[in-house]
Chains A and B, each alone.
Chain A
């Protein structure tokens, strides 16, 4: 009889089972430990900044006076990015799922995914070298004719390196995320709903309004939340594009700063308490994005049938 190598050595096999399942379990637990460790080590290294006397922190007013304007700047940049990206992303997703010829659809989807493949530092360089100079005349126009709005108050930045330019670059970077998730969900709309709407005489847009969008709404919301998480934490687009400064309401002047860019610009040369302060700023960013992402995932998990998250 030939011995089958798969079934011989009973004892080793049983031990192998134990070792292997133990290893997989350990790897799974390691991930939980790492996530916990991210929070733990950030807190440990951040504590000196939180307990230090206010006069020692940059600005001399304590940590929260330092981080407050930056958090607001981060939110402004992320929200503008989403306001720009969301309508375009949903349009692109609808185009790929319901408008483009079937044969082209997957190729076009790949083209949009290419947007996600371009490294963030390249977007930053593009925003600083190409977009900012091109867009600064538009800011001049806005300052002249729309200057009565606080957000367009002049004088406009001559270089175009403003929070609005940074937000436009951010919107390009979150666009593929929102597009790919929405596209997945739109494709899962029950065919019978769509055909029923068309059979009742609906135009294509009415069919989308009645069948596709209501079905996809929770998915769109969570896609926007995931995009928000990305926009909040994106570093390079802001660090290279924005010439930062104090918090201002005007979007077309230099000024404002985001947490991620503040860390990237200052961390390499920081030492002592400054390191602590920046790590504490990172902790704040971590908590904000964690909250946003958990809400998004919770919305997705409530609607299991949308496997858009995969």
Chain B
């Protein structure tokens, strides 16, 4: 009767020489306490506490493992610590950026009139006055939002037909010909064009064709199209490729011409993917600053004509407000406006990204399977 108890207590040979399952938690608790103690000596801050504790945790766990489990297991533990650690390190800037923009941007965005007024007539002396008197910061981003929407819309109108037709050529007509392979290769290369070079190209093109110093919203839209077309081509191509061949063959068997098959069968099947790809492409170019900076100039007033006159946009508004504050002696109102605009821009981009996911999910073709 008393024989069984010692046998149950004995650890199996297969699990001998392993750390117990609770080991990481114990080490973590010890590391957090020790880390807090060390930081208390040299001045406490949350970031340092996390860093010191993480290092202590890694040393403790790997050291314990080396003693109990041997070198191979210890190295495995070390690799796990480094890999999980690198993920946490990658999260830091994301959290920090979003936190910084929220904290600095909310005062700007809740100022009455921020979204509905332009910078027309807002001068350095007005900014100085609002700082001295503690009144609200005047001026807003209405002209910049309007400019961004117009430029992006025109860029989309240029890019989508070109990109979609190219994707159709590559998938339906290319047949892996030399030309199709060349287009695929150069589309990939185009993805890597630095955005400022795209802006310079558009500027150089219009300088040569229209006249030196031509800066309008349309020039910026052409620059953005150069960046947008390859994204549209790649995503549409992927979507067209996954349309089952049976659908095309069924249409051909009914005597339908190839172009009608593409327009009535292939594209409707792939439309959800294409639409979400286009939305992502818009999200990519809407935040581009450099190409707009060299092509559309800066404006402080509302400009409703894409083809004439300088035009403001959200990214260039942020850039100029930070680099050349409206009032050089009191940059705070300018930086408040810049962070408010940054928050609006991030919200726009996130909405577009979310929209792309929703489009892909809602309009996905109802598969028979």
Are A35 and B186 closer than 8 Å at their CB atoms? Answer: yes
**What is the minimal beta-carbon distance from B316 to any residue of chain A, in angstroms?**
8
Task: Choose one: B97, B195, B233; the contact of A233 (CB below 8 Å).
Answer: B195
Cβ of B294 within 8 Å of any chain A Cβ, yes or no, is yes
Question: Is A30 close to B, CB under 8 A?
Answer: yes
Q: Which A residues lie within 8 Å of B342 (CB)?
A: 119, 121-122, 125
Q: Which of A54-62, A64-72, A159-167, A259-267 contacts B (4 or more CB under 8 A)?
A: A259-267
- Classify the secondary structure of A's interface with B: helix
Query: Would you list which residues of chain B between 84 and 113 have a CB under 8 Å from chain A?
Result: 84-87, 89-91, 93-94, 96-97, 100-101, 104
Tell yes or no: A245 within 8 A of B by CB.
no
- Could you say which residues of chain B place their CB within 8 Å of the CB of A23? 165
A99 to B76, CA, bound (A): 12
A95 interface residue, CB < 8 Å from B? yes
CA A88 to CA B168, docked complex, whole Å? 38
Interchain nearest-CB distance for B163 vs A (Å): 8
Which residues of chain B are within 8 angstroms of A208 by Cβ–Cβ distance? 79
Q: Which listed residue, B97, B187, B256, touches A123 by the CB 8 Å rule?
A: B97
Closest to A21 in B: B173
Whether A38 sits at the interface, judged by CB under 8 Å, is yes
Q: Are B293 and A25 in contact (CB under 8 A)?
A: no
Taken together as a complex, chains A and B put the C-alpha atoms of A293 and B346 apart, in Å, by: 28
The verdict on A297 contacting B254 (CB below 8 Å), with A31-B166, A38-B193 known, is no
Mostly, the B contact residues are helix
User: Across the interface, do B257 and A92 meet the contact criterion of CB distance under 8 Å?
Assistant: no
Is B197's CB under 8 angstroms from A203's CB?
A: no
B interface residue numbers (CB < 8 A to A): 72-73, 75-76, 78-80, 82-87, 89-91, 93-94, 96-97, 100-101, 104, 161-166, 168-170, 172-174, 179-180, 182-183, 185-198, 200-201, 203-205, 207-208, 212-213, 226, 229-230, 233-234, 238, 254-260, 262-264, 283, 286-290, 293-294, 297-298, 315, 318-319, 322-323, 335, 338-339, 342, 345-346, 349-350, 353
16 contacts across the A-B interface (CB closer than 8 A): A6-B255, A17-B257, A20-B263, A31-B229, A34-B190, A38-B197, A91-B85, A95-B87, A117-B350, A126-B96, A128-B322, A206-B76, A233-B193, A235-B195, A260-B194, A263-B196
10 further A-B contacts with Cβ under 8 Å, apart from A42-B201, A122-B97, are A21-B169, A45-B204, A89-B90, A118-B97, A122-B346, A125-B322, A175-B90, A205-B75, A282-B200, A289-B194
Give me the interface of A with B, judged by CB distance under 8 Å: 4, 6-7, 13-14, 16-17, 19-21, 23-32, 34-35, 37-38, 41-42, 44-45, 87-92, 94-96, 99-100, 108, 111-112, 114-115, 117-126, 128-131, 172, 175, 179, 203-206, 208, 226, 229-230, 232-236, 239-240, 260, 263-264, 267-268, 271, 275, 278-279, 282, 285-286, 289-290, 292-294, 296-297, 301, 309-310
